[in-house]
Structure 1
Amino acid sequence: MPSLKEIKGRIASVNSTRKITSAMKMVASSKLHHAQVAIQNMLPYETMLEHILKSFLAAEAEAQTIYDQERPVKRVALVVFSSNSSLCGGFNANIIKKMQHTAAAFIDTLGAENVEIYPIGRKVTEKAQKLGYIVKGERNAMVDHPNVQNCIDLAMELGNRFAKGELDRVELIYHHFKSAGSQILTQKTFLPIDIESELERDHERDLTSNVVTREAQEYLKQKKKKNEQKEQKAVPLNDNFIVEPSMNAVLSVLMPKLAHLMIYTALLDSIASEHAARMVAMQTATDNADELLRQLNLQYNKSRQQAITSELLDIVGGSVNN
């Protein structure tokens, strides 16, 4: 049985750890709020771009660009989003596991030399290099300082390689931020772009709360029902409108903008998911520390009481002998 001094030292150690986890939880909560604001600021642009594209689709326009043409897959690129730091639960482990599973599936059919990794985040970069994958650059700064221009540059690089035939398929792997308590591991095709499936993807996000509670989940369900009631099918702006210079020319401009938006949205979702996962992990660690402190204090009090009882018995025994 440990001595009183050992138990007291362990209580002090757990207390120090609890202070750290509690402070990290508060920091993660603040960063999550900023990430939610960044997503909220992006939504008006996303809404307007989708309105324009849905209008074209509702007009049943027969238009094609080089970015939505299916062709035999011979070379693949995976754009994988992770964090630069740890202590965020299974966030990075899930991303890396998904990357390995997807890469292995493509390597089996295409060969290791035809699968490339575009890592965004230090954790996935280090793991991809360790596993011997073909890694295209390091973009760790994009996680700490998300910037639209960096996303545009990456989307343009991938788009140009796809147009030249150097890549036949590009996949995105990231966490979709649904709420502070729910981040969904997502894999979707970036190129060739399927406009219809992209416009019908899950837009549901809770950008108002940092609290992980059952009430927050119920709020999301109610919000989804309201959105379903309000959602209406997009109709053309005019039954017989004319597009200048041509539908193909307009779509060739809009499609790259949609690609830029897809990369930027995935980056913001991944960053918000990282902070949410870290906040939950630190909250869990703090709760575990509280429970451990309760058990240690109980053990300390029992040991102290036992020591006092033993000393009293010694004193009483000595008095009787005298």
Structure 2
Amino acid sequence: MPSLKEVRNRIVSVNSTQQITKAMKMVAAAKLRRAQDAITQMRPYAQKLSEMLGTVSAGAEAAADSPYKQVRPIQNVLLILVTSDRGLCGAFNTNVVKAAVARVNERYAEQARRGNVKVMAIGKKGGEGMQRRGFSVNTNHIDTFGSLSFSTVREAAEEAMDAFVAGQFDVVEIVYNEFKNVATQVIRVEQMLPIVPTPAPAGVTANVNYTFEPDEEQIVSELIPKTLKIQLYKAVLESNASEHGARMTAMDKATENAGELLKELKLVYNRTRQAAITKEILEIVGGAEALASE
């Protein structure tokens, strides 16, 4: 049985940990509200932009000639992993890394054996996880969440887009956590490049002659890159909200576990203290009986 001092030290330690997890839960809850508002506002815009691209592509010849639609034999692959910079959020980061590795094993095993699967890490944890598994990782954008904005994400998107157009990669995919609610995040794997044909929205007939102003080529040349950047930005916002939700849930569970552990430690402390008092009483009684017998 541990000594009273050891048990007291453990109680103090667990109590301090519980206070930290409570504070982290409150911080995560505050950040979650802002992140949730951001992704809620972004989703309709991203969806409408995608619908516009589908509508324009249905009748625009320039869209078919876009360099972002080039379908080539898959020799080189780029995976964009969106994770967090910090841990203490349950299996949030691990699930993204596992999904990326599973994707490689299922679809790009041959390319991986030749060393032609590269990773662009947005968030430190994903890059570290893939490096441990032997993948080549682009770490130019791991600090994106330090100053999260469209401009910082746009730089990562443009780098991937330029590499695709230059022929450095034949396919670009995004792996991230989609935010559902505080307790639920869903792993998503989306193809960013080449552009996947988007069906026209309901009620819009394909092969319709559209009038473009100022001209078809300029509109398509601006719409497609913007849609790709928004696609990545939306994935980053989804991941950001998911991270705070996962951390809030993890810290809530950690706080509960600390409370249960404190109950057990206090019970052990009381039993240890009672045993120590009983031992002292027995020693006193034994000493008194020894003196009386003399």
Indicate the TM-score class for this superposition, using the shorter chain for normalisation. 0.7 to 0.9
Choose 135-144 or 16-25, whichever is displaced more: 135-144
Which residue of structure 2 aligns with residue 35 of structure 1? 35
Amino acid at match of 2:69: D
TM-fit CA distance, 1:6: 2.1
Q: Distance in 1 between matches of 2:215 and 2:41?
A: 31
Which residue of structure 2 aligns with residue 275 of structure 1? 244
Which residue of structure 1 aligns with residue 94 of structure 2? 93
Matched, 1:70 2:71: yes
The equivalent position to 2:271 in structure 1, one of 294, 302, 314, is 302
Choose 163-172 or 149-158, whichever is displaced more: 149-158
Q: What SS is found at the alignment partner of 1:78?
A: strand
TM-fit CA distance, 1:187: 1.0
TM-score w.r.t. the length of structure 1 is 0.77
Q: What SS is found at the alignment partner of 2:234?
A: helix
TM-fit CA distance, 1:295: 1.2
Q: Distance in 1 between matches of 2:162 and 2:219?
A: 18
Query: Unmatched 5+ residue regions in structure 1?
Result: 200-231
Q: What SS is found at the alignment partner of 1:193?
A: coil
Query: Unmatched 5+ residue regions in structure 2?
Result: none
Which residue of structure 2 aligns with residue 79 of structure 1? 80
Q: What SS is found at the alignment partner of 1:301?
A: helix
> Does structure 2 retain, via aligned residues, the 8 Å contact 1:54–1:234?
no
Which residue of structure 1 aligns with residue 164 of structure 2? 162
TM-fit CA distance, 1:283: 0.9
> Does structure 1 retain, via aligned residues, the 8 Å contact 2:53–2:224?
no
Which residue of structure 2 aligns with residue 61 of structure 1? 59
> Does structure 2 retain, via aligned residues, the 8 Å contact 1:80–1:124?
yes
The structure-2 alpha-carbon separation of the partners of 1:192 and 1:303, relative to structure 1 and needing over 3 Å to count, comes to same
The equivalent position to 1:189 in structure 2, one of 188, 191, 194, is 191
The structure-2 alpha-carbon separation of the partners of 1:28 and 1:311, relative to structure 1 and needing over 3 Å to count, comes to same
Number of residue pairs the alignment of both structures matches = 285
TM-fit CA distance, 1:134: 2.6
TM-fit CA distance, 1:124: 2.1
Choose 101-110 or 182-191, whichever is displaced more: 101-110
Give the aligned CA root-mean-square deviation in angstroms: 2.8
Which residue of structure 2 aligns with residue 143 of structure 1? 145
The structure-2 alpha-carbon separation of the partners of 1:241 and 1:170, relative to structure 1 and needing over 3 Å to count, comes to closer
Q: Distance in 1 between matches of 2:191 and 2:247?
A: 27
Cα deviation per residue 1:7-59 (whole Å; 9 max; x = unaligned)?
222111111111111111111111212211222343453254245335447xx
Q: What SS is found at the alignment partner of 1:113?
A: coil
> Does structure 2 retain, via aligned residues, the 8 Å contact 1:91–1:277?
yes
Q: Distance in 1 between matches of 2:128 and 2:287?
A: 69
Q: What SS is found at the alignment partner of 2:10?
A: helix
Amino acid at match of 1:156: E
Which residue of structure 1 aligns with residue 260 of structure 2? 291
Which residue of structure 1 aligns with residue 225 of structure 2? 256
Amino acid at match of 2:268: Q
Q: Distance in 2 between matches of 1:15 and 1:84?
A: 27
Q: Distance in 1 between matches of 2:43 and 2:196?
A: 20
Cα deviation per residue 1:184-203 (whole Å; 9 max; x = unaligned)?
11111111122427x9xxxx
Q: What SS is found at the alignment partner of 1:196?
A: coil
The structure-2 alpha-carbon separation of the partners of 1:276 and 1:234, relative to structure 1 and needing over 3 Å to count, comes to farther
Amino acid at match of 1:255: I
> Does structure 2 retain, via aligned residues, the 8 Å contact 1:112–1:133?
no
Which residue of structure 2 aligns with residue 133 of structure 1? 135
Which residue of structure 2 aligns with residue 205 of structure 1? none
Identity of aligned residues (%): 39
Cα deviation per residue 1:84-132 (whole Å; 9 max; x = unaligned)?
1111111121222222333345242464332211111112223333444
TM-score w.r.t. the length of structure 2 is 0.84
Q: Distance in 1 between matches of 2:154 and 2:9?
A: 54
Choose 148-157 or 74-83, whichever is displaced more: 148-157
